[in-house]
Amino acid sequence: MQVEQESKSLLTFKTKMVPYLFLAPNLIIFSIFIILPAIIGIYYSFTDFDGLRSPNWVGFENYRRLWEDDRFRAAMWNTIRLVVATVPIVFMTSLFIALIIIRPLKARGFFRASYYWPVMISLIVVGFMWQWILNPRFGLFNSVITGLGFNASSTLLDARFAWWGVVFIFTWSRAGYYMIMFVAALLSVPVQLYEAAQIDGASKLQRFWYVTYPSIKPARIMVFILAAMEVFKIYPIIVTFTGGGPFRATRFTVQHIYETAFQSYEVGYASAMSVIMLLFVTVFTGINFFVSSRGERDA
Amino acid sequence: MRKAGIGSYVIAFIFLTIFLLPVFYIVFSSFKPSSELTSAAQTFFPREWTFRNFTRAFERGNFVLFIWNTFFVAVLSTLLAVLINTMSGYALAKFRFKGDKIILILILSTIMLPLEVIMVPIFSVLRFFGLYNSLWALIIPPAATPTGIFLMRQFLLKIPDEVLESARIDGASEWRIFYSIVAPNAKPAIATIAIFSFMWRWNDYVWPLIAIASPRRYTLQLAIANFAGEYNIDWNSTLAMSVVSMIPMLIVFLIFQRQFVQGTVETGMK
């Protein structure tokens, strides 16, 4: 009797352990490579760590310095401006091509695949590709506009051109991805809603504005948040497109953090920048979720 | 449904050219000889076709080695990702246990911690575990993906509990249930995780940038980025390398197009 009970409790212990064992590999990796670095990063941000000598505690010194650091502020501000400019453009482009692709076109699959294809190309190659097309000396862009009788542009040597170039190539590279999300949402709008609107005599534009647009709200919020997060951490595409130039015009937060840590070896200082960046991301997503869930209740 | 009008086709074609022409132009450019590449009057098609850029790229700087490194990383990391994410997804979908909700929320909240934010301390962690400058640093850590787990969990919720229970009553071990009942039933989700993982690893830049130092361990993206970042860009070999690096993704895409479309929708719904 005693023995039987013991083996039974051992058995239930073993069955209780099963889900934890299945989860173990992932949880170990997450703890070591996400949670642990996050904690270490916060610790570093309060030290003068240079990557070699053992770190000394400096309190809020790094954060105080950040407050007065024009270069960091410029990189952050530049990133925020990029988010504000790029997200609506990506949003509208991907919604627009999604609306085209759900029309009963012949060879619809072919169009959809072609729009999606840039998503499959690495950001490094996308940046390089467009540097090749837009470079001022022997880019196709200049060959075309001089062929049309215009003066050659200084393209990527011009700060404004390069900055808007980033907006454009990001959109080019990612619109297909968000298009797919919109397509899924658009196809799940109930047909009855359109029929009812049509009976009521709504025009095409009215149908879009009063039926389609409100119905795809979850997808809209998702695309908005995902795109904003992506632009906020923009980096690889810049490496091969402009390298941050000309004159820091396309220098954004992640590049600044990377170079501060791995080229100037100011690891503690760079960690403080990362913490600030994380706060921005968290606050931004938090506000979005808050606003969108409140809108849900009002509706 | 009625047919789309001519206007729709015109717009669809305009976007087609915007998305495809630049890619074609890169492919054609990679067949141009040096003299044409550095000429101010560029043409869309090469005036003279040559394979020199490709042969030069293969001669220069261990290009074959970079391809091999990338392939090695992408394949192994994908296998690992499929295994551990299916395991975790199964645990979260089909077991009730202490802390299950908290673990799920914890896993999902790691999405909020992008690699770019923790890259500085990750460098220290990799050094501590002796993974710095090792390809394993590109294989093991990125294999655990919150989106993969969530995708798998959502998918496995659909498997009826009775099937698993009856296998348990028949005395099948938990591991056996996992690989002979759960895994075969999860094939569509496994396919999605596999192709996305392969694409992420093949195209990845930030992980290799943090983890790899010596050129012998470069992946393709790291090599292309370094060549393209030089003051005097070697257009010939960098163009050729870029084109070659796109080929495996093109093949994967053409075969698994449907899964990509499906997966984009599912992974987006975090």
Q: Chain-wide mean pLDDT for chain B?
A: 88
The per-residue pLDDT for A10 is 62
Both tokens of residue B104? 């799920």
The per-residue pLDDT for A297 is 47
Please tell me whether the peptide bond between B208 and the residue prior to it is cis, using omega within 30 degrees of 0.
Answer: no
Contacts of B125 in chain A (CB under 8 A): 32-33, 36-37, 40
Angle at B181 between CA B177 and CA B183, to 5 degrees: 100
Q: Which amino acid is at B145?
A: T
Q: What is the mean pLDDT of residues B106-113?
A: 83
Q: How far apart are CA A146 and CA A153, in angstroms?
A: 9
The per-residue pLDDT for A9 is 66
Q: Minimal CA–CA distance to B206: which of A39, A86, A261, A164? A: A261
CB A155 within 8 A of CB A139: yes
The per-residue pLDDT for B269 is 46
Q: What is the pLDDT of residues A165-191, one digit of tens each?
A: 999 999 999 999 999 999 988 988 888
Could you say which residues from 222 to 241 on chain A have a Cβ atom under 8 Å away from some Cβ of chain B? 222, 226, 229, 233, 235-236, 239-240
Radius of gyration of chain A (CA): 26
CATH superfamily of B66-268: MetI-like (1.10.3720.10)
Contacts of B127 in chain A (CB under 8 A): none
Residue in A closest to B144 by C-alpha: A26
Nearest CB to B95; choose among A19, A40, A172:
A19
Rounded to whole angstroms, the maximal C-alpha distance in chain A is 98
The per-residue pLDDT for B37 is 85
Q: Minimal CA–CA distance to A283: which of A229, A244, A209, A236? A: A229
Task: Compute the count of residue pairs across chains A and B with CB atoms less than 8 Å apart.
Answer: 242
**Residue B162: helix, strand or coil by DSSP?**
helix
- Phi and psi at A57, nearest 5°, equal -70, 125
Contacts of A229 in chain B (CB under 8 A): 114
Residue-by-residue DSSP string for A47-59: B---SSSPP-B-T
pLDDT above 90 coverage of chain A, percent: 56
Q: Positive or negative, the Cα torsion across B148, B149, B151, B155?
A: positive
**Residue B173: helix, strand or coil by DSSP?**
coil
The per-residue pLDDT for A295 is 55
Place of tokens 């979260």: B92
Q: Decide if B116 and A235 are in contact by the 8 Å CB cutoff.
A: yes
Q: Which of A240, A258, A285 to mutate to test the interface with B (most CBs of B within 10 A)?
A: A240
Q: Does B17 touch chain A (CB under 8 A)?
A: no
Q: How far apart are CA A100 and CA A110, in angstroms?
A: 13
Q: Name the least confident of A110-119, B15-24, B55-64, B94-103.
A: B55-64
Domain boundaries, chain B: 1-50, 66-268
Nearest CB to A181; choose among B22, B92, B268:
B268
Q: What is the pLDDT of residues A82-92, one digit of tens each?
A: 999 999 999 99
Q: Decide if A132 and B239 are in contact by the 8 Å CB cutoff.
A: yes
Q: What is the pLDDT of residues B135-152, one digit of tens each?
A: 999 999 999 999 899 889
Q: What is the mean pLDDT of residues B223-228?
A: 89
Could you say which residues from 105 to 144 on chain B have a Cβ atom under 8 Å away from some Cβ of chain A? 106-107, 110, 112-114, 116-125, 129, 140-141, 143-144
Contacts of A30 in chain B (CB under 8 A): 106-107, 110, 144
To 10 degrees, the CA torsion angle through B83, B67, B232, B210? 30
Question: So what's the ipTM on this one?
Answer: 0.91
Q: How far apart are CA B90 and CA B92, in angstroms?
A: 5
The per-residue pLDDT for B76 is 97
B230 burial via Cβ count (<10 Å: 0-12, 13-18, 19+)? exposed
Q: What is the pLDDT of residues A236-252, one digit of tens each?
A: 999 999 988 898 999 99
State the pLDDT confidence band at A36, using cuts at 50, 70 and 90: very high
